[in-house]
Amino acid sequence: MVFDVRRLDIYRKVPKDLTQPTYTGAVVSIICCVFMLFLFLSELKGFIATEIVNELYVDDPDKNSGGKIDVSLNISLPNLHCDLVGLDIQDEMGRHEVGHIDNSMKVPLNHGYGCRFEGEFTINKVPGNFHVSTHSATAQPQSPDMTHLIHKLAFGEKLQVQNVQGAFNALGGADRLSSNPLASHDYILKIVPTVYEDLSGKQRFSYQYTVANKEYVAYSHTGRIIPAIWYRYDLSPITVKYTEKRQPLYRFITTICAIIGGTFTVAGIIDSCIFTASEAWKKIQIGKMS
């Protein structure tokens, strides 16, 4: 018994509707190529672009920080002299620092009648507060004016990522210039640890926060009004993680092959139907003529 090798040929004779050129086939081919080009460019754009996936979990992500969080504060008090402005820090670990001056700067405003305070400091990862007040001044003013404008309050590293929208500077732009000059301001912050991991696996640690505030007039035990701007904070146990991801190369190649194969198959079916209908119509016309 002789085996015919030609039976293994998977490339059968091409049907007549695929070898005979027609105007319809040309139009279908052009549309097919334009459609494939559009899908290819769409997939290429998606392959080049990075996707940011976010997740939530319970953990302390930055374990190498020594239990500290970096804070950056920039605030203007247009009606309070720089000699009176001070920063106090205290927390539940027993820290109580009055008149913090390290890595801070005071810039006079309004010909010396006001002050802009800029400071960078660290806080412990426990509930506590820091506040801007006149508590560290050698002599307390009779009518301290705590109207203010907050330019920046941020925690941790600065994230400059276009596709990540978060409350990293939720108090930036907070305007209290028209409030009661003798009023104290309480900003209650809920700090949320945030991790950003890029394609190389490098991680950056920052913190978002939500804020609620209230305004009130506080009296000391002597009956004097001593206003302050309080930032009372607590940390959330939930961590938000943003991860950069890109579509794998094998998936991109598979999608391109599917686009090409699928488009040619559908276009072939459409062209075959049109060709068959055209041939049948010609036979009908010839039959009528005969």
If asked whether residues 81 and 135 sit together in one domain, one would say yes
Distance CA 215, CA 263 (A): 66
In a domain, 207, yes or no: yes
Average pLDDT, the chain: 85
If asked whether residues 89 and 222 sit together in one domain, one would say yes
The yes-or-no verdict on residue 166 having pLDDT over 60 is yes
Distance CA 213, CA 257 (A): 57
If asked whether residues 138 and 39 sit together in one domain, one would say no
In a domain, 89, yes or no: yes
pLDDT class of 253 with cuts at 50, 70, 90: confident
pLDDT class of 176 with cuts at 50, 70, 90: very high
In a domain, 232, yes or no: yes
Q: Between 288 and 157, whose confidence is greater?
A: 157
pLDDT (tens digit per residue) in 80-127: 999 999 999 999 999 999 988 889 999 999 999 999 999 999 999 999
pTM of the model: 0.72
In a domain, 273, yes or no: yes
pLDDT (tens digit per residue) in 68-84: 999 999 999 999 999 99
In a domain, 188, yes or no: yes
If asked whether residues 95 and 141 sit together in one domain, one would say yes
What per-residue confidence (pLDDT) applies to 158? 86
Distance CA 266, CA 284 (A): 27
If asked whether residues 98 and 226 sit together in one domain, one would say yes
Strands 184-197, 228-235: parallel, antiparallel or unpaired by DSSP?
Answer: parallel
The SS3 of residue 142 is coil
The yes-or-no verdict on residue 141 having pLDDT over 70 is yes
If asked whether residues 171 and 273 sit together in one domain, one would say no
In a domain, 213, yes or no: yes
Range of the domain at 189: 59-237
Q: Is the dihedral of CA 108, 113, 118, 119 positive or negative?
A: positive
- Tokens 């754009």, residue? 45
If asked whether residues 43 and 74 sit together in one domain, one would say no
Distance CA 267, CA 256 (A): 16
Phi, psi of 105 (to 5 degrees): -145, 140
If asked whether residues 12 and 112 sit together in one domain, one would say no
Distance CA 229, CA 199 (A): 41
What per-residue confidence (pLDDT) applies to 264? 78
The stretch 27-49 carries a mean pLDDT of: 82
If asked whether residues 196 and 65 sit together in one domain, one would say yes
pLDDT class of 9 with cuts at 50, 70, 90: low
The alpha carbon of residue 220 and the mean position of all alpha carbons in its chain are separated, in whole angstroms, by 44
pLDDT class of 50 with cuts at 50, 70, 90: confident
If asked whether residues 13 and 79 sit together in one domain, one would say no
pLDDT class of 7 with cuts at 50, 70, 90: low
User: How is residue 153 written in tokens?
Assistant: 């309050």
If asked whether residues 226 and 112 sit together in one domain, one would say yes
Q: Between 147 and 160, whose confidence is greater?
A: 147
Quote the number of domains for the chain.
2
Give residues with Cβ within 8 angstroms of 198, minimum separation 6: 244
In a domain, 67, yes or no: yes
The yes-or-no verdict on residue 221 having pLDDT over 80 is no
The alpha carbon of residue 210 and the mean position of all alpha carbons in its chain are separated, in whole angstroms, by 16
Q: Is 218 in contact with 180 (CB distance < 8 Å)?
A: no
If asked whether residues 212 and 92 sit together in one domain, one would say yes
Per cent of the chain over pLDDT 90 is 43
